[in-house]
Amino acid sequence: MALKSGAAIVLTQHPLISRHWSKNSRLPGDDYNSADMSERLFSSLESVLSLPASQASRLGALTCAGICHDTEQMHIKLLYRYPQAPDAVNPSRPPRVRHLAEILGIFQGSSVNSTLGLYISIDERLRLARDLAAAVFEFHKIQWWHKNISSYNVLLFFYDDTALPSLSSSVRRATDPPFSKLVLGKPYMIGFSHSRPENAGYSNKMHAQPAVFPYRHPDYAGADAVDDRTSPGFLAEYDYYSLGLVLLEIGMWERLGRFFVQDYTLSRDKMRSQIVDDLVPVLEGTLGSLYSSAVRACLSGELSGNGEDADPASVDEMFERMVLRPLETLLRRFDGV
C-alpha cells in the first residue's frame, strides 16, 4: 500500500526486515541547493531523529530510525519503526496502515458503513480528537511546529484483521456477522520533516501537495506564496488552525473536500469565514456545543494573540484552555469518569 501523506517509510519493529511502504516527496532544488539551507534542513531532521522513543510516543510521533537521501532525484525519505504492537499480537506480522483521510473516506459522512458492517462511536471520535490536540500541544511545548497538519498526515495502525475489513468487501449479506465497532487506537502524526525550530521568521519553503494545501492558515502560503521572500513566517496559531480543520473533519466524520468545496473567486480569509459561520455550528448536532466551541477557537483567530508579536507561550496557554481541556472534559463525560 502506498501512503499518500508525504515523505515516509514505515518499517516493522525489526528495521532489518525489508517489507515497507513508501511515498517519495520531492524537495524543490531552488529552495535547498545552498549549503546553508542544506545544513539547516539536516539539522532540523537530526532533531527529529534524536527524539527518544518515550518522547516520540508522548508526542504522538513514530520513532524515527534514519533517513535516506537521493541527491539525483532530490528525494528525502524518513525511516520509521512501527509502534509497539499489543501484547496479544504477533510482533513479526505488520499491521495494516491507514491514514485518517482514508478512514473518513470509508464512512463518507455517516457513523455507519452498512457495506463493511462497521460503525464508529462518539467516544472513539472524541478520543481521536483529544489525542491529536494533545500531541500538537506537546510538540509545541518543546518549541517545534509541524507545519503540515492534515488528515493525510495522521496514521492509524490496525493489528486485528476483523477490526478493519477489506475496503473491497462486497455488499453486505444477511448471513454476515453483526456490525463491528471500529476501534481506532492511538493516532500517530507524520510529516515532521516539515518542522522547524520555533522562529516566526524562518518560513518553511516546502511546496504543499494539492490535497494538503486547503489545511493551511489563510495568512500562510509558504513556498506557494506569490512572493515567498515577503510572505509571513510561521506562527504557532497556524498549526492550531490546521488542527482545527482536522477536528472539523472528525466532527463531520468526512473528508474536508467532500463537505467544503473551495470557491477560488473568494479570498482564503473569506473561505475561512464560510467554514466558521456555516460549518462549525453543525458540530453542535454531531459532537455537541463544547466540541463546536473548541473547533471554533482553532479556526476563528481567537488564538492569534498579537500575530507575530504574540508570546507563543500565551497562544499555547489559550489553546490548552479553549481546546484541549474542553476535549478532555467531553471525553470524560462519555467515558463515564
> Residue 108 has what pLDDT?
86
Q: 84-93, 167-176, 216-225 — which is least confidently predicted?
A: 167-176
Best CA proximity match to 118, nearest among 129, 127, 105, 128: 105
Q: pLDDT tens digits, residue range 305-318?
A: 655 556 767 899 99
Give the residue carrying C-alpha cell 525511516: 79
Q: Map out the domains of the chain as residue ranges.
A: 1-94, 121-190+205-337
Longest Cα–Cα distance of the chain, Å, equals 64
Is it the case that residue 191 has pLDDT exceeding 90?
Answer: no
Q: pLDDT tens digits, residue range 111-167?
A: 998 888 899 999 999 999 999 999 999 988 887 788 889 999 999 998 876 556 555
For the chain, the residue count is 337
Q: pLDDT tens digits, residue range 274-304?
A: 999 999 999 999 999 999 999 999 999 898 7
Pairing of β 112-113 and β 96-99: unpaired
User: Which residues are within 8 A (CB) of 193 and not within 5 positions of it... i.e. 6 or more apart?
Assistant: 6, 7, 25, 44, 45, 48, 76, 78
Superfamily of 121-190+205-337 according to CATH:
Transferase(Phosphotransferase) domain 1 (1.10.510.10)
